[in-house]
Amino acid sequence: MSQMKYIKLSDEQVRARKRRNVAIALGLLGFIALIYLVTMSRMHANNRARVAAESAALATLERADPALPPPVQPDAGAPQTTETVQP
């Protein structure tokens, strides 16, 4: 079999390759950081919009019928009743 011949890069070519690799890596990291920041800012804006919409809906419910019991909070336990259940 014949032996493979490889190209031997000069020192200048090796340095140029390393500079290109570093530039590509920095560009990729910058792109990832940009995507992360845009995603976080959009999530923050959506969260604020959701809170505002929930507040508006709650205010509408309270104005519609003030006799309604207060809404159940997601982190609250089951409502306590004073009635006793007889079997």
Q: Can you give the pLDDT at residue 83?
A: 66
pLDDT digits (tens, 9 = 90+) for 48-87: 999 888 888 877 776 766 666 666 666 666 666 666 666 6
* Residue 34 pLDDT class (50, 70, 90 cuts): very high
Q: What is the pTM of this model?
A: 0.55
Q: 43: pLDDT confidence band, cut at 50, 70 and 90?
A: very high
Instruction: List CB contacts of 66: < 8 A, sequence separation 6 or more.
Output: none
Distance CA 19, CA 32 (A): 20
Q: What does R_g of the chain's alpha carbons equal in angstroms?
A: 32
The end-to-end CA distance of the chain, in Å, is 94
Residue ranges per domain, the chain? 33-62
